[in-house]
């Protein structure tokens, strides 16, 4: 992909969850012959959190890398906004496509809206109804300004309708992240993950990074206590996100012989690890979706989820530190792999549906 003065679409990605969502959309728009520019804001800048996705998912190298790095929500959002404003003014796109709910998403949306550039939001309408989550604020702001809203589940359409979004803007297309999962299914090798990490026997995977779980020392300590209790019976493998490393280490996470802490993994390696596990303990939205498609029980350590379809049509359940071990026990005993149903339109063709809608929109 390359920049051009001709009408083009700009994709703005910035963090690990964005890349599996963007890959099928970029492929679909290429099939329609649409010129595209890929921007990586650098919100996630660790190679395993960003660069490896371009290699493993067949994404083209970004045309632009803003390199904003980490920082407070305001500083990070402001850096992205300033850089994108310069870019959009110099070469205005016909459409800006944003993904998910990260700071790069809301930053790009604000800049485009003020420059009167249309915005398409992939994964619109998800709601936890918890404004203490920065992601929830990003979702609501982005959806209120977007011109095309692509939803992954029927409940998202309902939320957008309640918020007064015009029905003609909303398109239920399915989940492009599931497109990526299904197209790479043969690459997710559980045996290779076991061998690489020298894991024998059954194991659980835990991945936790949200501020509500890792920023407060007392909360982190209670989570560590629950994970240690789980590790008393089944090994717990934790690819430790940079955000939670210090607080979990201070709480003694690594002090239990049944806990294996590893560095963050690439997409293929991580899903391979998940595929071979008994269950996953997480606070990640994407992992709730991936486990649903893989039929792996998922215990979400949060009081709410913006993805209730993973509970009604998947393997997900909400848990607390107090009931985590009790909820895990039936799974360890061989129960609770779900009923095999999957959410509607999670069929591997969401990217194509998005491509069709975008192509028609640009023609108009």
pLDDT tens sequence across 320-350: 999 999 999 999 998 766 667 899 999 999 9
Domain that holds residue 198: 187-332
- 115 contacts: CB under 8 Å, gap ≥ 6: 85, 88, 89, 92
Q: Residue 178's closest CA among 342, 38, 54?
A: 342
Give backbone dihedrals phi and psi of 261, rounded to 5 degrees, phi first: -100, 130
Residue 90 has which token pair? 């110099």
- Are 320 and 352 contained in the same domain? no
Read off the pTM: 0.94
Residues marked active site are found at 209
Distance CA 241, CA 71 (A): 16
| 319/48: higher pLDDT | 319
Task: Answer yes or no: is pLDDT of 269 > 50.
Answer: yes
Task: Please give the backbone phi and psi of residue 301, each rounded to the nearest 5 degrees, phi first.
Answer: -85, 70
Together in a domain, 47 and 163: yes
pLDDT digits (tens, 9 = 90+) for 178-208: 999 999 999 999 999 999 889 999 999 999 9
Domain count, the chain: 2
Is 101 found in the same domain as 219? no
Same domain, 171 and 192: no
pLDDT at res. 335: 79
Residue 4 domain-assigned (yes or no): no
The verdict on residue 341 lying in a domain is no
Specify if 180 maps to a domain: no
Q: What is the pLDDT of residues 230-263, one digit of tens each?
A: 999 999 999 998 778 889 999 999 999 999 999 9
Confirm whether 208 is domain-assigned: yes
For residue 31, the SS3 value is helix
């Amino acid at each position: 992909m390359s920049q051009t003065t001709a009408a083009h679409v700009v994709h703005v990605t910035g963090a690990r969850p964005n890349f599996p969502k963007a890959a099928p959309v970029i492929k679909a728009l290429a099939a329609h012959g649409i010129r595209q520019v890929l921007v990586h804001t650098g919100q996630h800048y660790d190679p395993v959190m960003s660069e490896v996705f371009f290699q493993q998912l067949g994404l083209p190298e970004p045309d632009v890398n803003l390199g904003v790095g980490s920082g407070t929500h305001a500083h990070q959002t402001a850096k992205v906004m300033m850089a994108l404003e310069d870019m959009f003014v110099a070469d205005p796109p016909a459409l800006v496509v944003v993904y998910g709910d990260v700071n790069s998403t809301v930053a790009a949306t604000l800049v485009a809206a003020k420059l009167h550039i249309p915005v398409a939001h992939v994964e619109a309408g998800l709601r936890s109804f918890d404004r203490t989550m920065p992601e929830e604020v990003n979702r609501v702001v982005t959806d209120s300004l977007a011109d095309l809203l692509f939803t992954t589940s029927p409940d998202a359409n309902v939320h957008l309708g309640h918020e007064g979004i015009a029905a003609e803007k909303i398109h239920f297309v399915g989940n492009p992240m599931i497109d990526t999962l299904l197209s790479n299914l043969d690459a997710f090798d559980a045996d290779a993950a076991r061998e690489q990490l020298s894991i024998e026997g059954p194991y659980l995977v835990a991945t936790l990074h949200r501020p509500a779980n890792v920023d407060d020392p007392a909360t982190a300590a209670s989570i560590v206590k629950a994970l240690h209790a789980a590790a008393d019976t089944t090994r717990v493998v934790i690819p430790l996100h940079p955000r939670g490393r210090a607080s979990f280490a201070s709480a003694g996470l690594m002090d239990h012989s049944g806990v294996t802490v590893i560095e963050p993994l690439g997409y293929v390696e991580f899903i391979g690890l998940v595929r071979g596990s008994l269950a996953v303990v997480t606070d990640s939205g994407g992992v709730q979706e991936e486990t649903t498609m893989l039929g792996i029980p998922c215990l979400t350590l949060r009081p709410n989820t913006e993805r209730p379809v993973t509970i009604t049509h998947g393997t997900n359940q909400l848990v607390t530190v107090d009931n985590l071990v009790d909820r895990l026990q039936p799974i360890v005993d061989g129960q609770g792999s779900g009923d095999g149903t999957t959410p509607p339109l999670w069929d591997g063709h969401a990217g194509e549906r998005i491509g069709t809608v975008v192509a028609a929109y640009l023609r108009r």
